[in-house]
Amino acid sequence: MQASLIEALQRNPHPPLATKHHQQTKPAPYGHYIPNVIFQTDVRPPPEEETKSWTKHGFNRVFMDDDQAMAWVEKTFAGTDIPRVFKELPLVILKADMLRYLYLLAEGGVYSDIDTRALAPISEWAQGAVSWPSGKPPTQPVRMVVGIEGDLHVWRNWGSTYGLGFSVTGRHRNFQIAQWTIASDAHHPILVDCIRRITDTFVVAQAWNITHYRAIEMLEAEGRWTHAHKLRLMRKPWEGDVKGERMSVQEWTGPAAFTDAVLSYLLAVGGIREQDLYGLEQPVQVGDVVVLPTDGYNPLRETLPNPRAKAIHLFRGSWKDNWDSAVHLDD
């Protein structure tokens, strides 16, 4: 899979920086290579008022519904296993997660959930970052900007703080990187690693299915109908949210998988460990990746407007009604 994926990316080279949607901006001495494109996906396009915060901040919008997404994956990754894996993923949310990684891998830009709002142009997303561990100005371009979603070590009740009815302990990682918003240059190694993890787990899920249904067939052949029926009714691993279960949504394609890919890269390129980021209060750059504190993509409502906040997640309207006035969207 890795060889064929690389070949597909070579057929779809990184767009020239001089093109309309892929202009290098320079928020820091060494700039960044993240296109000013916002990519979003849903079953149907959202109303214009749902997207105006992105266009207001200079983003060029790309949207795909389910059919468009499948057609794009088949065209972009033709000759690889990616279209088959994408098509056969058993849940819509698994496809939605994989699609964001695939689009950013092939095209670059910003992926953000439909129920998010931009708070700054892409030229400002890496501003204020210092190199880790020196604390000096960065000396290389930025190719990815990620934000901390939750840090149990300093923010134990972040879920209840948002009034969402869950605590951070319901997450699969006590320290977790957000994947509802990701900014990246095309062809970034973290995204390749995400796809590798997803396809590897897909193979495990296929093996689980084969074993599961063979067991049912054996029970039925032996006339053990009650046991076979119970096995048929058994919830599949991806239908639950068991912490640590490899085939659960969070571990297979979601924030747990993305967190692991990001932290593996940071360790490889900069020797930075998860615990080095606990309680982060200022953006740091490790190699070509900028890590934002929790208020980068996850600011508290009462802190807005907040110059460190780049985007905000509204959790499908949990406090959507009042947010516009808080951040002066229509100014």
Q: In the chain, where do the E strands start and end?
A: 37-41, 60-64, 109-112, 116-118, 130-131, 144-151, 175-177, 181-184, 284-286, 289-292, 311-313
The pLDDT value given to residue 16: 44
* Gap between the Cα atoms of 12 and 227, Å rounded: 51
- For 255, the domain range is 2-327
Q: In 76-189, where do the E strands start and end?
A: 109-112, 116-118, 130-131, 144-151, 175-177, 181-184
Overall average pLDDT of the 124-153 stretch: 90
The pLDDT value given to residue 17: 40
The pLDDT value given to residue 11: 67
The pLDDT value given to residue 314: 82
The structure tokens 């597909």 sit at 8
Look up residue 81 and give its two tokens.
Answer: 């296993």
Structurally, the chain folds into a number of domains equal to 1
Report the chain's mean pLDDT, rounded to a whole number: 82
Look up residue 120 and give its two tokens.
Answer: 């700054």
Q: Which residue has the higher pLDDT, 331 or 98?
A: 98
Q: Which residue has the higher pLDDT, 17 or 38?
A: 38
DSSP 24: -
According to DSSP, the β-strands at 175-177 and 144-151 are antiparallel
The pLDDT value given to residue 19: 40
Is the per-residue pLDDT at 291 higher than 70?
Answer: yes
pTM of the model: 0.84
Q: Which residue has the higher pLDDT, 151 or 65?
A: 65
CB contact at 8 A, 141 and 31:
yes
The pLDDT value given to residue 198: 95
Q: Could you tell me which of 70, 11, 15, 313 has the C-alpha nearest to residue 182?
A: 313
**Prior bond of 133 cis (ω within 30°):** yes
The pLDDT value given to residue 320: 37
Overall average pLDDT of the 49-76 stretch: 94
Tens-place pLDDT, residues 190-240: 999 999 999 999 998 888 788 877 887 888 888 888 887 887 878 777 777
The pLDDT value given to residue 151: 85
